[in-house]
Amino acid sequence: MSLFSSSNTRPRSLMEALLAKKIEAASQQQTGPGGSRLIRTDSMDSSSSIGSLGSLILGDDVCRCDDCLLGIVDLYTIGPKETASSIKKPSGWRKLRNIVQWTPFFQTYKKQRYPWVQLAGHQGNFKAGPDQGTVLKKLCPKEEKCFKVLMKDVLRPYVPEYKGQVNSEDGESTYIQLQDLLSDFYQPCVMDCKIGVRTYLEEELSKAKEKPKLRKDMYEKMIQIDQNAPTEDEHRAKGVTKPRYMVWRETISSTSTLGFRIEGIKKSDGTSSKDFKTTKSREQICEAFREFTEDFPHAMPKYIQRLKAIRATLEYSEFFKSHEVIGSSLLFVHDRHKASVWLIDFAKTVALPETVTISHDSKWKVGNHEDGYLIGINNLIEIFSEVHDQQLVQSVSDRIPRLSLPDDTNGVNEVDSKPHVEQEGVISDSIGGSCSSTPSNRCNEPISCMNNNNYDCKPDDTPLVNNNVTDGPILQDCVGPNTS
């Protein structure tokens, strides 16, 4: 029976609802060898016990604070040999434990220290795996077939490990068990990028064209993004065909121009965004990548290195040569210490006909089966490298002091007329290499030579100012102790 069958007994807080749910679940359990934990008396069966408890919890004549509510439940759920005096006041952790255990949204926390992040795809496809470091994904026969092949391919280090099938407790659902790619990261930042110049199969397009029908749901998705996207006829009909929607969807993002698009980003603080449907230009992508790796300077070079390794491995992969890779993603993950990339999502990846070969880096035309996967990989490497170079330049610029030179007096610069203090020693080049010299130092501090070209430092006594240099070393000046 439900505790909420009566219209005047409604839970007034989250704690009330959770405890009522807990009691209701307990009442539905079969009585084991030790008997039900709920107390039975000669005058009450289990149903009336639960009903009385529900009335007590939801009544108006009891204190409704969290401590009292938990205490009431303890009185009704203690074993026969326990007494009310043995019940301790509930702690804050006890309250949290109840919330974690009985709130549906938190159930995946029970086996893992964090919820598995799903940034894209159909919600509800994932659940916590039976073992630490695993995750369950609803079975897709095409995807499972791909994973079985990938476990024997050179791409295996770059995809989640496949660990077989798992049936749900009720036997109604089947899942594939995969390696949880987030298990080795602490408070990870995650980004999902869909790779390729299209995210639909050719057969999807042809089938939709055979029996075209107006789809109201796709029309509504379209106008949510752009009110002016539908034609006048589509506005009147309040519907668009699936082929029309699929082609339009690719053109509004960077999929059609760069061979990839950002599906979603989750930052380390838990905030996430999927608002990238119209992120199309190179500048927009660069800005998104900068924000994604903000405060994590180690992530960018590791991503570039991993992407290059993936690209090199793809050239030797029999799986890649023989498959049309559609709707697959690259999952980018980093925390304070680590960063890596994996290939994920193979539900739409299919084997090519034996008579068809593709290059993966050519434009798609109906019938040629090209997926543009390498176009996306190459553009990702280029854009990540571009952003990384900009970050390096900014880092160097931030370490160079802004010089404020005094006005000349009688044609002689005051800075140049002051005596300099000689500083002996080896000067470390923070960009690369080192140079030995005895340069002048106006600040009486150790010197770092910001020498981009790795030239020998100029040992004269005249400081060089960056915007006045036409050749030779870029800058030799006092920038404080070298921290590199």
Task: Give the model confidence (pLDDT) of 406-427 as tens digits.
Answer: 655 555 554 444 444 444 433 3
Same domain, 312 and 379: yes
Note whether residue 220 is domain-resident: no
| Cα three-residue angle 70-73-77, rounded to 5 degrees | 135
Q: How far apart are CA 430 and CA 479, in angstroms?
A: 11
pLDDT of residue 169: 82
Split at pLDDT 50, 70, 90, the class of 12 is low
Note whether residue 109 is domain-resident: no
Q: Give percent of the chain above pLDDT 90.
A: 44
Total number of domains constituting the chain: 4
Note whether residue 411 is domain-resident: no
pLDDT of residue 226: 92
Same domain, 304 and 431: no
Split at pLDDT 50, 70, 90, the class of 317 is very high
77 against 433, higher pLDDT? 77
Q: How far apart are CA 347 and CA 343, in angstroms?
A: 12
Ranges 53-62, 222-231, 394-403: which has the least confidence = 53-62
Same domain, 52 and 95: yes
Same domain, 462 and 423: yes
What is the rounded average pLDDT of the residues 48-70?
A: 50
pLDDT of residue 207: 82
pLDDT of residue 73: 53
pLDDT of residue 406: 60
pLDDT of residue 407: 58
Note whether residue 135 is domain-resident: yes
Dump pLDDT digits (tens) for 372-397.
Answer: 999 999 999 999 999 999 988 887 87
Please determine, for residue 324, whether its predicted confidence score (pLDDT) is greater than 60.
Answer: yes
Split at pLDDT 50, 70, 90, the class of 349 is very high
Range of the domain at 311: 189-200+241-395
Final residue before a domain boundary, out of 67, 102, 137:
102
pLDDT of residue 391: 87
Same domain, 194 and 325: yes
Same domain, 326 and 429: no
What is the rounded average pLDDT of the residues 78-82?
A: 46
What is the rounded average pLDDT of the residues 139-157?
A: 97
Dump pLDDT digits (tens) for 251-294.
Answer: 999 999 999 999 999 999 888 888 898 999 999 999 999 999 99
